[in-house]
Amino acid sequence: MKALIYYRSVVRYLLAKGLSRLRPRTFFARIAPLRLQEIDFSPPGPDWVVLRPRLCGICGSDLRLLKGAESFLLEPYASMPAVLGHEVLGEVVEAPPGSEWRAGDRVVVEPVLPCAVRGVPPCRYCAAGAYNLCENFLEGELAPGVILGFTRGVGGGMAEMMAAHPSRLVRVPDHVPDEVAVLTDSVASALQPVLDNFPDDAHTVVILGAGIIGQHLLRLLRALGSKARVVMVARYRFQEEVALEGGADVIMSSPSRALLGAAVGARLVPTTLGDGNLEGGADLFFDCVGSKSSLQEGLLTLRSRGTYVMVGTAGSLGPVDISSLWFRELKLTGSAMFAHGVCQGQTVRTYEKAVELLARGDYPCRGLVSHIFPLADYRRAFRAAFDKRLHHSLKVALDLRT
């Protein structure tokens, strides 16, 4: 079968890292350790379900890997070579006897590979339902890895065939189009921080970053009934236009510190050196960018005892003034993948809730899947995903249906 393989090359990784610093919106296809090639297919175990991927989304983590931007500290939590792709909508081809799955079922694949998939007793986090924090990602019957698509021997969705553990599958209702269902993973990635940090109606919320995750954060707050005042910070005009449908109260394009402060009811306090401080501000700050500047603005834009949530992945961010952290007793937290959360008083599996919300019919999806390319055109797909400004891309997906 044909599959898009990422293989280990320290030289190519570092070269991509250096080139991406010079031209961050460019996909260097000839440098990236990436090959579309024929490989043999076999499931990791006899109890796994064989799938034929239909659509597979390109995630920001895929782009960070190809840019050489992943944290070196996370290297042990992946194993190469691996078939890329973890935002998978697929169709069941074959299931083990006695399984609830049948050939032809459409499913999305929750990509996390915790204890239950690795054949080891549940760790304390898995036992509590927080399997995104599993302590055994390096153990068990599978190669080291947190999610499929970054784990050797566990095929990803950018291939003609793959397999998934039956516990990782969620059924897609018949009335949900493929182009909507492929959003499940990105919805779940935004839903988890929303469930874990749901604002009061009187709160002011900032969402910095209007890419696909920021767009989902906005839509999820409204879909779950939040009446909080939401300020969306976008980088590009086309992102602002998409955010209008999501229900933001204020949409700003790369605002200055003073303008962002004014939008959240804060006052700019001048400083002799630097760009000044803010007095007052937002209650909740979702950082979907994960950069030095986004962290800095998040710390300054929050009011006392506000909460900063790092949703966008980040490694080393360089020097940041963290005086607001102690001076205003802020809470800083991260949000990694998805597992379970409390939604309107009930504990839910985040991935299942994401499918449920997409299936309701009132979730604003128009324009979120911006590009679809056949697998053979993966280079064009990654170019579109890398350069949002030129291509107006949000979610780019690979099509394996033909």
Tens digits of residue pLDDT in 275-308:
899 999 999 999 999 899 999 999 999 999 999 9
Residue 274 has pLDDT above 90, yes or no: no
Q: What is the mean pLDDT of residues 93-97?
A: 93
Q: What is the pLDDT of residue 70?
A: 83
22 and 154 part of one domain = yes
| Distance (Å, whole) CA 229 – CA 206 | 9
Q: In this structure, are 196 and 168 located in the same domain?
A: no
Q: Residues 218, 264: one domain?
A: yes
Position 32: which residue type? Answer: A
Pairing of strands 49-57, 2-6: unpaired
| DSSP assignment of 212-226 | HHHHHHHHHHHHTT-
| Structural domain includes residue 117 | no
Residue 224 lies in a domain: yes
The CB density around residue 227, as the number of other CB atoms within 10 Å, is: 13
Residue 2: which pLDDT band, with cuts at 50, 70 and 90? very high
Q: Does residue 314 surpass a pLDDT of 90?
A: no
Please give the share of the chain, as a percent, with pLDDT higher than 90. 86
Question: Could you say which of 291, 314, 336 is where a domain stops?
Answer: 336
Q: pLDDT tens digit string along 232-266? A: 999 999 999 999 989 999 999 999 999 999 999 99
Q: Which one-letter amino acid corresponds to residue 382?
A: F
Q: What is the pLDDT of residue 347?
A: 96
Give domain status of residue 212, yes or no.
Answer: yes
Q: How far is it, in rounded angstroms, from Cα 155 to Cα 333?
A: 31
pLDDT averaged over every residue in the chain: 94
Inform me whether the pLDDT recorded for 143 exceeds 90: yes
pLDDT band for 317, please (50, 70, 90 cuts). Answer: confident
Question: In this structure, are 173 and 240 located in the same domain?
Answer: no
Asked if 98 and 238 sit in the same domain, the reply is: no
| Structure confidence at residue 313 (pLDDT) | 80
Q: What is the pLDDT at residue 71?
A: 82
**174 and 192: one domain?**
no
Which residue, 336, 355, 388, sits at the end of a domain?
336
What's the domain range around 225? 188-336
119 secondary structure, DSSP code: T
Q: Which two tokens stand for residue 42?
A: 């076999």
Q: List helix spans (H) across 23-58.
A: none
User: In this structure, what token pair is assigned to residue 139?
Assistant: 């153990």
- How confident is residue 336, by pLDDT bands cut at 50, 70 and 90? very high
pLDDT score recorded for residue 319: 87
Tens-digit pLDDT profile for residues 5-57: 999 999 998 998 899 889 989 999 999 999 999 999 999 989 999 999 999 99
CATH number at residue 243: 3.40.50.720
- pTM, 2 dp: 0.93
217 with 77, same domain? no
**Is residue 151 domain-resident?**
yes
Considering its fold, how many domains does the chain have in total?
2
Tell whether 287 is covered by a domain. Answer: yes
Same domain, 176 and 53: yes
> Which tokens hold the place of 194?
């929303």
Taking alpha carbons only, the member of 164, 113, 153, 150 closest to residue 135 is 113
The string of DSSP codes covering 301-327 is: HEEEEEEEEE-S--S-------HHHHH
Contact residues for 286 (Cβ-Cβ < 8 A; gap 6+): 193, 197, 205, 206, 207, 208, 209, 214, 217, 309, 311
Q: Is residue 318 part of a domain?
A: yes
One domain for residues 196 and 302: yes
pLDDT the model gives residue 308 = 97
For the beta carbon of residue 224, count every other beta carbon within 10 angstroms: 15
Domain membership flag for residue 119? no
User: Is it the case that residue 68 has pLDDT exceeding 90?
Assistant: no
d(CA 15, CA 327): 41
User: Which CATH number characterizes residue 164's domain?
Assistant: 3.90.180.10
Question: Would 83 be classed as within a structural domain?
Answer: yes
Structure tokens at 53: 């991927």
Confidence of residue 219 (pLDDT cuts 50, 70, 90): very high
| In a shared domain, residues 171 and 291 | no
So what's the pLDDT on residue 98? 85
What number is the average pLDDT over the span 89-102? 93
Calculate helix-pair angle for 184-196, 212-223, nearest 10 degrees: 60
**Of the residues 336, 356, 379, which one is the last residue of a structural domain?**
336
Same domain, 152 and 278: no
Residues 162 and 282 placed together within one structural domain of the fold: no
